[in-house]
Amino acid sequence: MTVSEPILRIENLSVALPEGLDRKHAVHDVSLEVHRKQIVCVVGESGSGKSVTAAAVMRLLPEKVLRITGGAIHLEGEDIAAASPARLCELRGNRIAMIFQEPLTALNPVMRVGEQIAEVLRIHRPQMDHRQIEARVVELMADVQLPDPDRLARAYPHQLSGGQRQRVMIAMALALEPALIIADEPTTALDVTTQAQILRLLRELLTKHDSGVLMITHDFGVVADIADHVVVMQQGEVVERGTPDKVLAAPEHPYTRALIEAVPRFRYRPEPERREAAVLAVEGLSLTYRSTSFLGAKRETRALDTVSFSLAPGETLGVVGESGSGKTSLAKTLLRFETPDSGRILFQGQDIAGLAGSALLQMRRHIQMVFQDPYKSLNPRRRIGQSLIEGPVQHGLSVGEAVKRAEDLMELVGLRRDALDRFPHEFSGGQRQRICIARALAMEPSVIVADEAVSALDVSVQAQVLRLFEELQRRIGFAMIFVTHDLRVASNICDRIAVMQRGRIVEIGPAQRVFEAPEEAYTRELLAAVPGFARKVAAVA
């Protein structure tokens, strides 16, 4: 094999979709190459065929549904599109390894992580004895910069943080020194700070090992930070390819341009004038999760620790922080899905922290929530109309009036009036999130709590939904608490920002001030971890 021979060469790969869908091919005529010590990023929105391409290389496609109809996949010169199942078993792990998006579900929950890494070695390297394997596991775990590998090897997956789990996955992938590592959205489920660390780790490992990486991502920030070569896919076809500098700075295809345009970047709302009395005021709110183990040992987790802030009518307060910082607990407590231990939640002067029974049901209409996952937050068995009128009818509106209001709201959020007769599965993620917003607005609330409401959406859709939020707020005038892990998104839509860490608000202030002149070290840390792309493009433009 010559030096210039790529590790992976995909030639004119086509994968057929079953009949009757909106297009014929999941992947059509895709060619790409991955060389040694190279990171190739395949970028695209959901439905672009990027994950199908990766699964085809692993030969992990559900073959009855998705058939490879043309093209070849050469791994180190060997055509694996035609390899036998036995040969595939040898190749997987040995020559190709995969890193998955969600490290918690990709690891076996009842097996110690060291064992899981050792298992790979035992299957593929039967000649290694017990001692050698143990030593190799520790070496690998040190390689991926896990602290105290001897001890962590005996931990179970749930005892590790998300970042540590992903490091274990990477250690497993590296165990056999594979030629090709396929990483499918490896950092999407992680916090920004952890994401930055994992990306740095992948880059460093490549200088030490001889592998090539095929990375699937939807995030141009990740591309800018790590890629040697970019392939942009749309609707199953490659629309643009090149070095990241070229593709990001001077995109040629309109789709690439649109995608890059949609990546959120820091942009601030004009400073609001002084406002009247707060619609919502939170004073010293604390929430503790208690659990008792089988032997009676009590465990307490402080989810919220004396949180205080106030929200003016029509204002948007962004709540940012890493996972586990208490952002979602705060949202849940404001909606009274959780009852706080202490502190007050004053809604228009009335303390709602201790409400129960019908008083609680009555109060709920004033504070509405938009959930993270639009695929799960609409009852799949009920028509959109049923979902939309349920709340208003419960609170005394007649069905006719509620339907009228629902129709108006559908138009307001940019959908057709007759969409009310349809079921949720007939809509895309972005459309569903619009419906969820309409459902919240149907209650004519004073406050909307949006918990990561755009995080599950593709960037272009994300931008649309953010614009919709802003426009609706201008027209209707509700106040909003916008919980997000994405500082760039927060900067676009929030007047003020509250930074949370371990259940406390460590910094709160006008968005521009917090992001451009942060006072706290933790805020600076968060800002430093934002994928570098936003700044880079700003510099070019």
Partner 1 sequence: MSANGQAPSLARRGILIDALLTNRVALFSGALLLAIALSAVFAGLITGGDPFLIRPRLRLRPPGSEFWFGTDALGRDVFALVLHGGRISLLVGLFAALAGAAIGTVIGLLTGYLRWLDPVVMRVMDGIMAIPGILFAVALVSLVGPSLFTIVAAITFAEIPRVTRLVRAVVLSVREESYVRAAEGLGIPARLVLLRHILPSCIAPLIVQTTYMFAAAILSEAVLGFLGVGFPPDIPSWGNVLAEGRAVFQRAPWTIIAPGLFLAVTVMAVNLLGDGLRDRLDPRLSRAAKVSS
Residues engaged in binding partner 1 (CB under 8 A)? 17-18, 21-22, 26, 46-52, 62, 64-66, 335, 337, 360-365, 368-369, 371-373, 376-382, 387, 390-391, 394-395, 422-423, 425-429, 436, 439, 443
449, amino acid identity: V
Shortest CA distance to 45 belongs to which of 215, 213, 235? 235
Q: State the minimum distance, in angstroms, from the CB of residue 240 to partner 1.
A: 19
Using DSSP's 3-state secondary structure scheme, residue 103 falls into helix
Q: State the minimum distance, in angstroms, from the CB of residue 313 to partner 1.
A: 20
> Rounded to the nearest 5°, which phi and psi values hold at 407?
-65, -45
Comparison of 371 and 522: residue with beta carbon closer to partner 1? 371
213, amino acid identity: V
Comparison of 89 and 361: residue with beta carbon closer to partner 1? 361
Q: State the minimum distance, in angstroms, from the CB of residue 66 to partner 1.
A: 7
Token pair 């839509």 is found at 493
Instruction: Tell me how far apart the alpha carbons of residues 420 and 334 are, in angstroms, rounded to a whole number.
Output: 30
Comparison of 115 and 373: residue with beta carbon closer to partner 1? 373
Q: State the minimum distance, in angstroms, from the CB of residue 14 to partner 1.
A: 15
Comparison of 137 and 378: residue with beta carbon closer to partner 1? 378
Whether 26 contacts 49, CB under 8 Å = yes
Whether 497 contacts 455, CB under 8 Å = no
Instruction: Tell me how far apart the alpha carbons of residues 527 and 521 are, in angstroms, rounded to a whole number.
Output: 10
Q: State the minimum distance, in angstroms, from the CB of residue 388 to partner 1.
A: 10
Q: State the minimum distance, in angstroms, from the CB of residue 329 to partner 1.
A: 14
Q: State the minimum distance, in angstroms, from the CB of residue 50 to partner 1.
A: 7
Comparison of 267 and 376: residue with beta carbon closer to partner 1? 376
Q: State the minimum distance, in angstroms, from the CB of residue 194 to partner 1.
A: 25
The CA R_g of the chain, rounded to the nearest whole Å, is: 25
Q: State the minimum distance, in angstroms, from the CB of residue 503 to partner 1.
A: 21
> Rounded to the nearest 5°, which phi and psi values hold at 19?
-60, 155
Q: Which two tokens stand for residue 182?
A: 């396929």
Comparison of 25 and 488: residue with beta carbon closer to partner 1? 25
Comparison of 174 and 413: residue with beta carbon closer to partner 1? 413
Instruction: Tell me how far apart the alpha carbons of residues 183 and 170 are, in angstroms, rounded to a whole number.
Output: 9
Q: State the minimum distance, in angstroms, from the CB of residue 420 to partner 1.
A: 14
Q: State the minimum distance, in angstroms, from the CB of residue 438 to partner 1.
A: 12
31, amino acid identity: S
Instruction: Tell me how far apart the alpha carbons of residues 274 and 82 are, in angstroms, rounded to a whole number.
Output: 69
Token pair 């614009």 is found at 467
Comparison of 364 and 488: residue with beta carbon closer to partner 1? 364
Comparison of 29 and 119: residue with beta carbon closer to partner 1? 29
432, amino acid identity: R
Comparison of 266 and 478: residue with beta carbon closer to partner 1? 478
157: DSSP letter: G
Instruction: Tell me how far apart the alpha carbons of residues 51 and 57 are, in angstroms, rounded to a whole number.
Output: 10
Measured on CA atoms in the order 461, 466, 471, 477, is the torsion positive or negative? Answer: positive
201: DSSP letter: H
Comparison of 233 and 304: residue with beta carbon closer to partner 1? 233
Whether 203 contacts 38, CB under 8 Å = no
Q: Which long-range contacts (CB under 8 A, 24 or more apart) does 236-242 make?
A: 236/15, 236/23, 236/25, 236/26, 236/27, 236/28, 236/30, 236/48, 236/49, 236/52, 237/28, 237/29, 237/30, 237/49, 238/29, 238/30, 238/31, 238/32, 241/32
Instruction: Tell me how far apart the alpha carbons of residues 106 and 516 are, in angstroms, rounded to a whole number.
Output: 38
